[in-house]
Structure 1
Amino acid sequence: MKIFISCDMEGISGITGPDDADPRKEPYKRFQKVMTGDVNAAVEGATLAGADEIVVNDSHDGMRNILIEELSPKAQLISGFTKPLCMMQGIDSSFDLAVFVGYHARAGTAAAVMNHTIFGKEISDVWINDVLVGETGINAGIAGYFGVPVGAVTGDDKVCREATALLGNIETAAVKEGVDRYVAKCLPLEKSRELIKNAVKRAVERRSEFKPLRYQSPTRFKVRFASTTEAAIACLLPIVTMEDSRTVSISSNDYLEAFSTFLGVLMLASTASNETFG
């Protein structure tokens, strides 16, 4: 049985602010170890439920955060950037289930720890077929493209709520309660790891109950940028449509093609980002 784990960092146990997840800042090295521990808890849960192949995709920032020397030997690690499927690199139709560890709520979610969607400064909102989504919804769509359901999500209480609203009765592990964007009431590591392990174990055991998330074709990604300049730069690509001064859209009959174009548009638009104004 094959399990795919996508691991972000903002929803990891104990993380509450930007410095905790920024490789340039002092707290980061400490939280690399915590991140690896959360992943190991998920791997243990999957293994206890019978998984015999587990692939972990490091999905935060430069995607070189998980410490392979401390990672469970039961998992394989995909590390580094850039990746065509970004946070979902490595997923294909051979997997039985996908699990999201350390995820965070979409941009603008009240009292959600480190809430953002892909880029913290540049993006205000993302919609898929007019449904407001965060990274959970975007990445669940990639898994669904390959026929793989998402069975568990871990992070703060707000991303857990976002995930169940979109994906139904999946398993979740809320390792902290968001108070504000950079404030949380955090569980002790021993408790959070137990929650992660048990949630993933139950998800793998229940895998036949979950359905892949498939967005209707044609798929339309719509992005509202923080800056008018970012939207204008994005529209240098002929496939991109300007919706208003800060909002652009991309459509395709193929979800993966729409996602790839969306990702490329974000990379291009980010070159126009300003340190002060976004």
Structure 2
Amino acid sequence: MRKLKTVAVGAVLAFAGIAGTASAPAQASSQAEYVALGDSYASGVGAGTYDSASGDCKRSPLNYPHQWAAANPEYSLKDVTCSGATISDIRNNQLSALSSTTNFVTITVGGNDAQFSSVVQACLTESDSYCKTATDWMSYYARNQLVDELAGLYKDIRARSPKALILVLGYPQTLSSTGTCPVIDLDATKRTAMNGLADALAEGTGAAATRASVYFLDMRSMFRDHGACGSDPWINDLTNASAVFHPNAAGYTKGYAAKLEATWG
């Protein structure tokens, strides 16, 4: 019997008949259905290889949905993740992949709603004070308005797939506190500010998951000591311009896929 291996996930552990552990939903066919939703962190931007058929969505066969599905062939994967997706995009373009027979759902979203790319650009090109102002502003949003928006989305997922186990995978801190960033270095003030936004996103996402009674997987501990610009990075730095501060192949395998498999594998 498949069970949640990690019970200390940041959500209410009693919903839809689940209390501490969760058995696999009953299967109507030989394979259960797994639907992967989310943005670039779910689609696999930064992994280094992409399915050409996915176009600008940049879905990688190394993203965490594909790696988990490969390790669990009793599930049939429907991957509708897309780089750049916001909460609105998930509703408009991805929720249609869900059905009442969906057994398992994963999702990572919220970073684009918190203007992640714009904040990164500000911290790379502007002063320390400007960077801190930008991250403080978006951190406030992440701990407040974003919680309402994400909780509403998770409830919509539950309404479409009432029997599914829903796992929300968060974002890690992106930067190592030590080491030199190539191309454009970032001082300690900017690194602290940017990692502070990552903390706010994790806290806001976890709060939304609790409110909607779905499971939250906090990725920060998995990526500890593996931030960009450090000695063993699982996050891309500025030398990969198209995937700055997104996980690299090691980040998707040793970070996201490992956490997911350890939790529900």
Sort the TM-score into its range (normalised by shorter chain): 0.3 to 0.5
Using the size of structure 2 for normalisation, the TM-score is 0.42
Structure showing the higher helix proportion among its residues: 2
Could you state the TM-score of these two structures normalised by the residue count of structure 1?
Answer: 0.41
Report which structure shows greater RCO (CA 8 Å, sep ≥6). Answer: 2
Q: Which has the higher strand share?
A: 1
